Structure 1
């Protein structure tokens, strides 16, 4: 009897609670004020883009904002048609292909938030759209950056020899540091020897400042040797063009020029370590080698002058920064192929920004060198000393 009475009381309490809640929920809707949506989408004016940019911009204005003339811009849009073409949507009209391409170019060239300048008149959320578009653009990098064929490598070697006298050079290899906004966890891994966080861009460049191979995934604390060993270039050296040539009764294959931080190999030739014991021929070889290697330094300068995003800590997430770097290198190759010049004012601005974040110095590689590389360098030293004027370093 006691248990039954307790159950009855609990049931009565539960029923009363349910009745009271039902009454409250019945009156709540009448207490709330309903507001109707004023609009589903705000209409934005496209006059700035369609009339001013597309019809009235001069070539100078096109280059200042997008780093290329309108003719080159149209060619680039044709290349990006399969990647950036808008899809059909039901809510609002899609952003046209030309505007999408312009958003990417303007962001990379200026490194300012897309909302800061009305190139497209605030029609869109520029930052979010720019990130999405860059993700798509990065998928066509392989079309603009690819290793040369045997014919292209031989043609490059002939041009190098005409300009710098040294035979069998198919390019120069070097690295540069690109600023990044690093994560708080693991910050030290990105800090280089100058004290600022970066990614290392390693690039193989030809005599006309085009990139044939790049690697930009290593953090700033990495030594140049480690960057090289972690690159696809190092793991696939057996696929590089060889086309050996007989020089002083020695077979010399096509090779790249490197700086002192790299190891000496038969496909990567660097100069002799500076020492008072160097012979006149060895010192002269260093001068010729350094002169030819300036092509990669010029290429880096032109790259950063065009795409100022590479000179600042951009607002991109650090995991996406390598995609941005690779996209800039690909667009650089496109501009060089279109014969687009670099405005001296861009270079002056870039030089000023680089002074704020100076590049780390080189740390020489002093371990045992490859015997094949030593033989190739000795053969080239003898050939250059016997056939060309001996040169001395100015410092």
Structure 2
């Protein structure tokens, strides 16, 4: 009996044990299945994240390609508009020159007719005097000269005297007597005239003095006529003749680009000592000269910036100049209409042709923000939020740019005719402006001191270009220039 009870309890224990083992195995299997499900969810979530990253990269790449395509199309459109405007400006200029050429031809024909009439009158008068006997005075009395009005030359005779004070002479002509004599000697073979039966020729020194005094003071021809005892038309003619002679004879000698390696090295070293930036060959600036509203192509010469500043309609022509470290002009471009931006004037200059011909490789011409960044033109940073290094670089660029601005300030200070609207015709104005640049160089080279009273403060004439960047490579090389100079 006891054995039966014992066997029964043992069987019950074994059955319970088997049941617990089955339960443990079931729990283990369910835990493994739950773990597999969690890992599957993680893998799926990771795959979704990777897929989203791939889609974002593809979207960003497509956006960049679309932006690059749009930017390229806009760039092409801007360049096309720029070329179109430039072509239109050239057409305007050629049409203007054609009109002025026709006007000049008519003036030449009119002058020829007037000379022929004057010569006929002289011949008639001489024949009548020869036919008269005893009615015109004694035989030894000098013949009466025609077309001459008696005028006082006391002021010029005093200035031309050897005892005239040097300071007074310098104040009147912006240079010393030695420099004035040198200019007269250089121009004597070109401007000298012979005496005629109508009148005695104006001496060379008086011719040069009329021109220089007119340029220096900017006084109207009426006052020039009273100063020198000459007719108004004669003074006007003398100014143009002497200016043309200065531009023809003296400009090739005193306005020279530094082509020799020794001169280039000297200019580079001088600019590097000023700013710490290497390979700088010149400082460039463009100024505007006020003119009377032209009769042809008025819109081309309209100066919007001056009009807005002065609250008065203004017209001008441009003078672009490159100077060395001493403020001496090495290149000038004169006569383009005042509506053109600085970069447009640059593209029309001989300097630009020299650069496209590969003659400016390895050098910098420093300009203001009115010029575009190019392979050979170095300009300051113009964007906002500059780093301190970029601010320092702009300061160094400003020191070089100050050389050109000071040179133009002395140019306009010495030759006051550049400060106000002139009576000179538009087609003759480039000759007059070129003569002023040559005389400026002569005074600078010969160390002619300028009266501080004559100082002229330049008003900013910058015309911002439509395309401020012409070279991506040089944009990044400019950043390298930031660390080249030694502040």
For Structure 1 versus Structure 2, the TM-score category normalised by the shorter chain is 0.7 to 0.9
| Cα gap change, 1:339 to 1:367, in 2 (>3 Å) | closer
Unaligned runs of 5+ in 1: 1-35, 245-252, 390-395
1:178 and 2:289 equivalent?
A: yes
Give CA deviations for 1:69-92 in whole Å, capped at 9, x if unaligned. 111111111222232222353332
- Give 2:299's match in structure 1, choosing from 161, 175, 188: 188
Structure 2 residue aligned with 1:378: 479
| Cα gap change, 1:274 to 1:371, in 2 (>3 Å) | closer
1:146 and 2:247 equivalent?
A: no
| Cα gap change, 1:39 to 1:171, in 2 (>3 Å) | closer
Q: Distance in 2 between matches of 1:65 and 1:322?
A: 24
1:256 partner SS? strand
Q: How does 1:58-73 map to 2 (within 5 A)?
A: 58-73=165-180
Residue 49 of structure 1: CA displacement?
Answer: 2.9
Q: How does 1:336-347 map to 2 (within 5 A)?
A: 336-347=444-455
Give CA deviations for 1:276-326 in whole Å, capped at 9, x if unaligned. 1x2222221111111111000000000000000101111000111111111
Q: Distance in 1 between matches of 2:343 and 2:469?
A: 13
Structure 1 residue aligned with 2:130: none
Conservation of the 8 A alpha-carbon contact between 2:285 and 2:320? yes
1:274 partner SS? coil
Residue 44 of structure 1: CA displacement?
Answer: 5.2
Higher relative CO (CA 8 A, sep ≥ 6), structure 1 or 2?
Answer: 1
Structure 1 residue aligned with 2:323: 205
1:263 and 2:364 equivalent?
A: no
Residue 222 of structure 1: CA displacement?
Answer: 0.5
Residue 60 of structure 1: CA displacement?
Answer: 1.5
Q: Distance in 2 between matches of 1:238 and 1:155?
A: 24
Structure 2 residue aligned with 1:224: 342
- Give 2:277's match in structure 1, choosing from 166, 176, 185: 166
Conservation of the 8 A alpha-carbon contact between 1:261 and 1:364? yes
Which segment drifts farther, 260-269 or 135-144?
135-144
- Give 2:237's match in structure 1, choosing from 101, 122, 128: 128
Q: Distance in 1 between matches of 2:157 and 2:409?
A: 33
Conservation of the 8 A alpha-carbon contact between 2:271 and 2:277? yes
- Give 1:322's match in structure 2, choosing from 415, 426, 430: 430
TM-score normalised according to structure 1 size: 0.78
Q: Distance in 2 between matches of 1:240 and 1:307?
A: 35
Structure 2 residue aligned with 1:94: 201
1:332 and 2:436 equivalent?
A: no
Structure 2 residue aligned with 1:293: 401
Structure 2 residue aligned with 1:53: 160
Which segment drifts farther, 109-118 or 360-369?
360-369
TM-score normalised according to structure 2 size: 0.64
1:76 and 2:183 equivalent?
A: yes
| Cα gap change, 1:369 to 1:239, in 2 (>3 Å) | closer
Q: Over alpha carbons, which structure has the higher Rg?
A: 2
| Cα gap change, 1:372 to 1:82, in 2 (>3 Å) | farther
Aligned residues: 335
| Cα gap change, 1:372 to 1:62, in 2 (>3 Å) | farther
1:227 partner SS? helix
Residue 205 of structure 1: CA displacement?
Answer: 0.9
2:189 partner SS? helix
Task: Considering fraction of residues, name the structure with more helix.
Answer: 2
| Cα gap change, 1:367 to 1:127, in 2 (>3 Å) | closer
Which segment drifts farther, 177-186 or 232-241?
232-241
Q: Distance in 2 between matches of 1:282 and 1:58?
A: 52
- Give 1:303's match in structure 2, choosing from 375, 390, 411: 411
Aligned-pair RMSD on alpha carbons?
2.5
Q: Distance in 2 between matches of 1:103 and 1:52?
A: 12
Q: Distance in 2 between matches of 1:81 and 1:240?
A: 39
Conservation of the 8 A alpha-carbon contact between 1:157 and 1:169? yes
